[in-house]
Amino acid sequence: MASVPLSLVHHYFGEVDDPRIERCKRHQLLDIIAIALCGVLCGADSWVEIEQFGTAKAPWLRTFLALPNGIPSHDTFGRVFAGLDPLQVEQGFALWVDALATQLCGVIAFDGKTLRRSHNRDAGKRPLHLVSAWASENRLVLAQVAVDQKSNEITALPLLLEALDVHGCIVTIDAMGCQTELARSIVARGGDYVLALKGNQEGLHTAVQDAFALAEGDGFVGVTHDRAQTAGKGHGRIETRRVTVISEPSWLSHADPSGAWQGLRSLVEVHSRRTLGGEVSEENR
C-alpha cells in the first residue's frame, strides 16, 4: 500500500519542471505534489488544509516520501503550485486518472461549462470556462482544459482526446465539436461518436433535416429507419420523446463528397414534446 503513492507520483508527475531556484529548495517537488494530491483526495480545498492534512498524516507520509525538512508550510504549497506549468500538471493528472480507469466503458461526454463567480469585473477578468471529459458509468471527470471563452472549446477538444484512451467507448460532443477531424480521431482511437448536429454544418444539416422529413411521412424509400417513443412525468412536467433512427446513410455522399465523416453509421432525431402548466413546447434535436 505504501509504495503505491510514491510510484504514482514518480511515474505520472516525474516530468513536471520545478520552478524553484536550486538553493531555495527545502522540500522535494514530488513530496509537495504527493501531499497536495492526497490532501485534495481527502477533502482539503485550501493550502492551509493541505498543510494540516500533511501534519496530521506525517507518520504515514514518511513511509513513502523523503520529507527531509518535514511538512511544507501552506505558503510553500501556494508558491510552488503557482509556479508550476499547469499543462504539465494536467497531463500528469490526466494520465493517472486514465490509468485508474483502465476499465472505462460506455459514454464519455465532452462538455464545456462556465464556472459561476469565477469572474472579476473590476479587474476585467473573464469567468473561467472549462472543457471536461466525464465518464458517465464511472462517474469520474477524466480530464479538464481551461479555455478563454466558450468559442475556444474547439481548440481544447483535441487536447482532451489525445490525453484519453477512448477505445470501446462512445464519445459524445455538442455541436461545437461536430467536426470531421474529431470524428476521424475518435474512430482512429477505437471509439465511437455521437455528435450533435446544428447549423454550423449547413449542407449536412439541411440534408439530414430533409431525410427525417421524408422518414416522417414514410416516403423514404430504400433507407432503413426505426422509431421508438417514451413518455415520462416529473417536476410537474410531462414529456414525450419520439426517437427516429436512420441506418447506413450512404446516400449522404452528396452532402459529404469527401467521405470525411469516418465511421458514420446512423442519424438520430429526438423529437421532444413538453407540457408544463398548460404550456406546450416542442423541440427537434
Res 122: pLDDT: 56
Q: What integer is the mean pLDDT of 127-153?
A: 77
Res 2: pLDDT: 37
Measured distance CA(156)–CA(179) in Å, rounded: 13
Residues whose CB falls within 8 Å of the CB of residue 231, separated by 6 or more in sequence, listed in order: 238, 239, 240, 241
Confidence of residue 145 (pLDDT cuts 50, 70, 90): confident
Residue 72 is given by DSSP the state: P
Measured distance CA(92)–CA(172) in Å, rounded: 24
For the record, the C-alpha cell of 66 comes out as 523523503
Tens of pLDDT, residues 89-116 = 888 887 776 666 555 678 999 988 876 5
Q: How many CA atoms lie within 13 A of 204 on its CB side?
A: 22
**CA distance from start to end of the chain:** 49
Provide φ and ψ at 151, rounded to 5°: -65, -15
Residues whose CB falls within 8 Å of the CB of residue 181, separated by 6 or more in sequence, listed in order: 158
For the record, the C-alpha cell of 269 comes out as 432525431
Q: Which CATH number does the domain 104-196 belong to among 2.60.40.10, 3.40.50.720, 3.30.420.10, 2.40.10.10?
A: 3.30.420.10
Residues whose CB falls within 8 Å of the CB of residue 121, separated by 6 or more in sequence, listed in order: none
Residue ranges per structural domain of the chain: 3-84, 104-196, 197-285
Measured distance CA(17)–CA(56) in Å, rounded: 28
Res 210: pLDDT: 86
Res 79: pLDDT: 93
Res 58: pLDDT: 95
CA distances from 207 to 174, 180, 272 (A): 19, 16, 21
Measured distance CA(152)–CA(246) in Å, rounded: 32
The region of weakest confidence among 7-16, 170-179, 246-255 is 246-255
For the record, the C-alpha cell of 100 comes out as 485508474
Res 223: pLDDT: 60
Q: Are 113 and 132 in contact (CB under 8 A)?
A: yes
Res 3: pLDDT: 39
Judged by DSSP in three states, 193 sits in strand
Q: Are 66 and 5 in contact (CB under 8 A)?
A: no
Res 102: pLDDT: 57
Residues whose CB falls within 8 Å of the CB of residue 125, separated by 6 or more in sequence, listed in order: 119
Q: What integer is the mean pLDDT of 209-218?
A: 78
The region of weakest confidence among 120-124, 225-229, 260-264, 269-273 is 120-124
Residue 28 is given by DSSP the state: -
Res 204: pLDDT: 85
Q: What is the pTM of this model?
A: 0.63
Assess whether pLDDT exceeds 60 at residue 220. Answer: no
